Amino acid sequence: MSPEISTSKYQFDLLKVGVSAEGIAHVEINRPEALNAFSTQTWRELGQCFTRFKSDGNVRCVVLSAAGRMFTAGLDLKEAQSGPLGKPHEEGVDVARKGYYHRLHILEFQEAISTIEKCDKPVIAVVHGPCLGIGIDVISACDIRVATEDAYFMVKEVDIGMAADIGTLQRLPKVVGNDSWVREACLTARKVTSKEALFVGLVSRVLPGKREAMESALETAATIASKSPVAVASTKHLLNYSRDHTVQEGLEYTAAWNALAHNSHDMALAVLSSLKKQKARFPNL
């Protein structure tokens, strides 16, 4: 990968973002002193970042990792404690009114994390060290997951007295085809090693250390970035659509979608290159 090009479009406080000439964006969760605990600012920045990726033709594939000792310790409990999660219902406050606004808050949080899924560009998560609570919500919204040997995973929410509500209970069972395991993980909050994560299919592969994991992720990202960006964005978009619809509905949507996409210059170029056994170079989206 060529050196990262820093663009002013992606200046954040708690994220470090660079985009390479090949179209690989690297997003690093960068709050190591707090063990990358997710504050409101963290997920707001994350949402803004991936929203911008969606319409940025220079970005073809994203690698998401974290700085410091671990992927994330989960929700920022100190912040949460002073917010709605930190106290039971207060006397005198109308719980319906409080709940009305609290629901809007959860929806906003969910929407920020869902931008990872909705950005159309594939996202590869690199997990090292602990990945707890909200960390699982985040990586479940990614497309591909790789981990280091020392990585471990905990669906931690039940330990703070709540059901996970930012995507884990929706996406994890569709990411991992072992429901007995998924439910055990979500109901016990127990530690899952990277080896176990590999066996059940939560991660695609386990690398010795962070450097190797990053290299592996970047290699996959480079492969994806070298393909037609029309084909790549279409593939991710159609996989997401099809997950949530019947096979028949997925096929019909795909036919409508490709009636447009098949007019791309890329196909002609790719077919020609393929017959000539040459490597095609595709312009940005």
Considering only residues 130 to 159 of the shown chain, the ones binding a second copy according to CB under 8 A are 143-145, 157-159
- Min CB(277)–a second copy separation in Å: 12
Nearer to a second copy, 33 or 91 (CB): 91
User: For the chain, how many residues are written?
Assistant: 285
Instruction: Show contacts with a second copy in window 86-115 (CB under 8 A).
Output: 86-89, 91, 94-104, 106-107, 110, 114
- Binding test (CB under 8 A) with a second copy, winner from 150, 184, 212, 215: 184
Nearer to a second copy, 41 or 254 (CB): 254
- Min CB(218)–a second copy separation in Å: 13
Q: What's the chain's Rg over C-alpha atoms?
A: 20
Nearer to a second copy, 17 or 186 (CB): 186
| 144 dihedral zone (left: phi>0; alpha: psi -120 to 50; beta) | beta
Nearer to a second copy, 63 or 182 (CB): 182
Residue 180 to residue 101: CA distance in whole angstroms: 35
- Min CB(40)–a second copy separation in Å: 15
Residue 28 to residue 68: CA distance in whole angstroms: 10
Instruction: Show contacts with a second copy in window 214-273 (CB under 8 A).
Output: 220, 223-224, 227-228, 230-239, 242-248, 250-272
Residue 273 to residue 268: CA distance in whole angstroms: 8
CA distances to 8, 184, 197 from 55, rounded to whole Å, are: 15, 39, 33
Q: Which uninterrupted H or E stretch holds 205? A: strand 205-207
- Min CB(115)–a second copy separation in Å: 13
Asked whether position 182 contacts a second copy by CB under 8 A, the answer is: yes
3-state secondary structure of 262: coil
Beta partners for 15? 29
- Binding test (CB under 8 A) with a second copy, winner from 1, 34, 67, 176: 176
What tokens were used for 147? 């981990």
3-state secondary structure of 282: coil
Asked whether position 21 contacts a second copy by CB under 8 A, the answer is: no
Residue 162 to residue 96: CA distance in whole angstroms: 19
- Binding test (CB under 8 A) with a second copy, winner from 6, 11, 188, 278: 188
Asked whether position 34 contacts a second copy by CB under 8 A, the answer is: no
